[in-house]
Amino acid sequence: MCGIVGYIGEKDIKQILLGGLKELEYRGYDSAGIAVLNNGEFSIFKAVGKLINLEEKTKDFHPQGFSIGIGHTRWATHGKPTELNAHPHVGKKSYVVHNGIIENYAELKKELETKGVEFLSQTDTEVIVHLFEDLQKEAKTNFEAFEKTVQTLHGAYATLLVTKEEPDTVFFAKEGSPLLIAKNENGEIYFASSDTAVIGEASQAHYFEDGDYGYASKDGVFIFDKDGKPKQPKWQKLEQNKLSAQKEGYRFFMEKEIYEQSDVLSDTLLGRATENEVVFEEIDKELFDGINEIKFCACGTSYHAALCASYLFERYAKIRVSVEIASELRYKEPLLMPDTLFVVISQSGETADTLETLKMAKNAGLKTLAICNVDNSSMVRLADATILTRAGIEKGVASTKAFATQVAVLWMLSLYVAKLRNTIEKDALQNQLRTLRTIPQVVKVDDGMHERIKRLSKRYLHGHGFFFIGRDVFFPLALEGALKLKEISYLHAEGYPAGEMKHGPIALADPELFTIALLPKNLLFEKTRSNIEELSARDSTICVVGSEEFEKGDDFIKTKPHRHYMQEFFEMMVALQLLSLEISVRLGNDVDMPRNLAKSVTVE
Ligand code: AGP
């Protein structure tokens, strides 16, 4: 979820680019940079860390008169957050910024290197500018070279490119990642990943569609669709309130982050969930050499993701798994054996308890892996290897897309290890991969479901508590649903294995006890159904979440029929996220900043 800005005009281009990047910082970044072409000369500035570091580097830079320029805030997906990996990336006479993932960058990079091209960074982005300059040699125009570049790229990208060969033109292309072009009455042209970066500068915006590419200059804006046909920009009046623009029309960041899970999961899977295998470029297979057990360790929502992983790894990779709550592991004098791979899961990469257990594992000589959303975080820097979840910045304190991407990565990793250990047949693996690739579509919020949950939520604003129940991976999902509700509605809720209710908790069953029952069709349906019947027989108020109506339930959140239980898992996850959101809204709580909570618990 990087941020992109661009500008063509006579105004103070440095302020416009830096100001635009500042407005995009909510998208998260670990480095930033700008490139400006003024009077035929390029000036390039890059810095890691906060935007203020970039401002410091440009403090003596004051271009005058007509300029073109591009800027970028980076959220690392390929390559560490370093100045070298920061955008814009440079060829001989051109610069490029990019948001997304170039899926075929490795083969393109290899091809270009055989032609003698030298790469400076570890990023996928850099192939764009070198490919463009390679194509320039044969192309009649720079636009033709850019057009051929775009046609060669596979994956997701929003990209801006400028070249000394055409000092008044910005080339653009959009596929999968957001990009817009904007203008004002003085004919100045702006580009941005989201309109917050141009509010106050521009008055109208055109939002590019997938497949759009083209160029803009003082002579105008020239857009072409995916078939190369010219298309007219559809200028829309720009929203003028920055904060609501950051929420892009949603009431809360948490709501926005629930809705963007589809796009985000596409990024998480991109280049990894291929036709026949899972590919993790960022780890070596040797990490698993000599490993007979995997120990996951995390807190909160990340702990729930770890519990999900325990089912998947034992089922598919036939490897022993243990799951620890970090604050418990720290003080229980644990048995940490060298044939155990120690895996920490953390959105922030800074949670104190989890970080301390990582240190314990390293001190005990174990191999370590971090599954994390923030590159360059403490855990990423400390672990032997890292797999990034690519969720982009998560503003809502109550985790949603971070959890979704953690489970997706862990599911992929279970299949990766299963292949390494030859515990999964080729066609079974292909079936799992086919199912995995449907998940971005599965988590697309269904408006009908959201509307139904909005109405339903009015019935669950009181009562003496909630049970969320499920079996197998739906048990950790039940824990996660209960945590979401607790965090933002402040109502008491607990997740419980459906089969355990009869061992005590069912004593609480009465009409004031709300049970949210996860009833997947493709996993232990009959078993779970009978557990729900036990509660219904004792007059508990039951809301069933599933694809099949349950006649003894009081409420029903209908999900789509799926062929695989993990598709049901992800759709039910969205339903539980929306349920906690709508109950919290009705209670008038601060959904994004709930009381007593912090986004990252960096203290014991
Ligand atoms: C989840 O909604 C909470 N914000 C909290 O449980 C969180 O998952 C936990 O603090 C762990 O954070 P981490 O993933 O950044 O390590």
Atom 9 of ligand 1, nearest CA residue: 300
> Where do we find the tokens 């990943």?
193
> Which atom number of ligand 1 is nearest to the Cα of residue 398?
2
User: How do residues 529-586 score in pLDDT, each as one tens digit?
Assistant: 999 999 999 899 999 999 998 888 999 999 999 999 999 999 999 999 999 999 999 9
Contact (Cβ atoms closer than 8 angstroms) between residue 206 and residue 182: yes
Contact 555, 563 (CB under 8 A): no
Active site residue 80: no
Please give the distance, rounded to the nearest whole angstrom, from the Cα atom of residue 27 to the centre of ligand 1. 19
**Active-site residue, from 50, 218, 444, 599:** 599
Domains and CATH numbers, the chain: 3-247 (3.60.20.10), 264-442 (3.40.50.10490), 445-596 (3.40.50.10490)
Asked if the peptide bond before residue 88 counts as cis, ω within 30 degrees of 0, the response is yes
Instruction: Identify the H or E element spanning 572.
Output: helix 565-586
Q: Choose the residue to mutate in 254, 299, 584 for probing ligand 1, maximizing ligand atoms within 8 Å of C-beta.
A: 299
Q: What pLDDT was estimated at residue 604? A: 73
Grouping H, G, I as helix, E, B as strand and the rest as coil, residue 231 is strand
d(CA 278, CA 351): 28
Contacts of 349 (CB under 8 A, 6+ apart): 370, 372, 373, 374, 377, 378, 379, 380
- Hey, is 94 helix, strand or coil? strand
- For the chain, 604 residues long, the average pLDDT of each consecutive 10-residue run is 91 96 76 95 93 94 97 79 88 94 93 96 94 97 98 94 97 93 95 89 93 96 96 89 76 95 94 94 96 98 98 98 98 95 96 96 98 88 95 90 98 98 97 98 96 96 89 98 97 96 90 94 97 92 94 94 98 98 95 82 73
Q: pTM for the full model?
A: 0.79
- For residue 208, the surrounding DSSP H or E stretch is none
pLDDT at residue 23, as a whole number: 86
CA-nearest residue, atom 6 of ligand 1 = 300
Cα of 411 from ligand 1 centre, angstroms? 19
2, 297, 299, 372: the active-site residue = 2
Question: Alpha helices, DSSP H only, in 115-269?
Answer: 126-136, 142-152, 242-246, 253-259, 261-269
Q: Going by CA atoms, what residue is nearest to atom 5 of ligand 1?
A: 300
Determine the distance separating the centroid of ligand 1 and the alpha carbon of 489, expressed in angstroms. 17
What pLDDT score does 28 carry? 62
**C-beta separation of 233 from 206 below 8 A:** yes
299 is catalytic: no
pLDDT one-digit tens code per residue, 486-528: 999 999 999 999 999 999 998 988 888 899 999 999 999 999 9
Measure 373 CA to ligand 1 centroid, in angstroms. 12
**Cα gap 242→257, rounded to integer Å:** 18
CA distances from 319 to 52, 287, 294, 474, 564 (A): 47, 15, 7, 20, 22
What pLDDT, on a 0 to 100 scale, did the predictor assign at position 78? 66
